[in-house]
Amino acid sequence: MSSIFLCAISNIKSGACEQDCAFCAQSISHGATIDRYSKKPIGTIIYEAKRAKERYATGFCLVSSGKSLTPKTLALVCDAAKAITDLDLGLKLIACNGVVADPEDLYTLKAAGVQAYNHNLETSEAFYPTLCSTHTWQERYRTCKHVGEVGLDLVCGGIFGVGESEEDRVSLLTSIASLNPKNVPLNFFHPNPALPISQPTLSQEEALKIISLARTCIPNAQKIMLAGGRERVFGKGNYTFFSYGANAMVIGDYLTTQGEDAKAELEALKTLGLEIAGACKEI
């Protein structure tokens, strides 16, 4: 296969979301025991960006909790993006900051050095109201449309294992395909006792079918990326998903859950003979 791509995440604003998404531990509605803070220091974000580069990540995503891109969050993301850009690390900067009502905010991010915007549809339009009552699926879709209109690369995926049907999965992936995303992150539900969802962890077989379906439904995506819940479904040191259509994964920690040791993962990928891409432009 071609080179695989690694992406790292920085949770720059954690656990302050007033939305009631049933799958998300960052919602204050659920009272999950997680780290909560309103603003990660720029120095810490820069440190994490440098560490991401050392771990061969080609993408670095600045993620904030909350429904939408507020003026305060916009300022924080822009400050972080400018500081990282000045270091010339060669990282592709991705922002993930919720619904965007005003496309001008996306132009502001772009001017600060952000190259892509991540906003997931999460699940099908029909199933979404069973997971969230505080905003609509249509708001998410409109945000994704705005991303393409302003010339940013779109990163758009979803979460699986939250009670959705096979038809919901096909519908979600078909909707994502209509947006022409560059990167499609696939998340698998990670249970938390505070969350209202009680679903068994997806089997590896079912997860591999989802990955193959994503590649089939969205053939033009440059990356099909394994993200949250990967380790829970596939276990430590299992990278079989790269044989089923995935060509990217998140390395390091996630938003509220811990990932595998990055050094060990890099060694494992090397042992398997998998080539890690040096820059996003290679694909």
As given in the structure block, the two tokens for residue 201 are: 């962890």
Ligand-binding annotation for 217, yes or no, is no
Ligand-binding annotation for 61, yes or no, is yes
The beta strand positions in the chain, using DSSP E, are 5-13, 59-64, 92-96, 116-118, 153-155, 158-160, 183-188, 223-226, 248-250
Q: What residues have CB less than 8 Å from 185, skipping those under 6 apart?
A: 118, 120, 155, 157, 225, 226, 227, 250
What number of residues does the chain have? Answer: 283
Ligand-binding annotation for 17, yes or no, is yes
**How many Å separate Cα 80 from the centre of its chain?**
18
- Cβ–Cβ < 8 Å for 80, 117: no
Binding residues: 17, 21, 24, 61
Binding residues for [4Fe-4S] cluster: 17, 21, 24
Binding residues for [2Fe-2S] cluster: 61
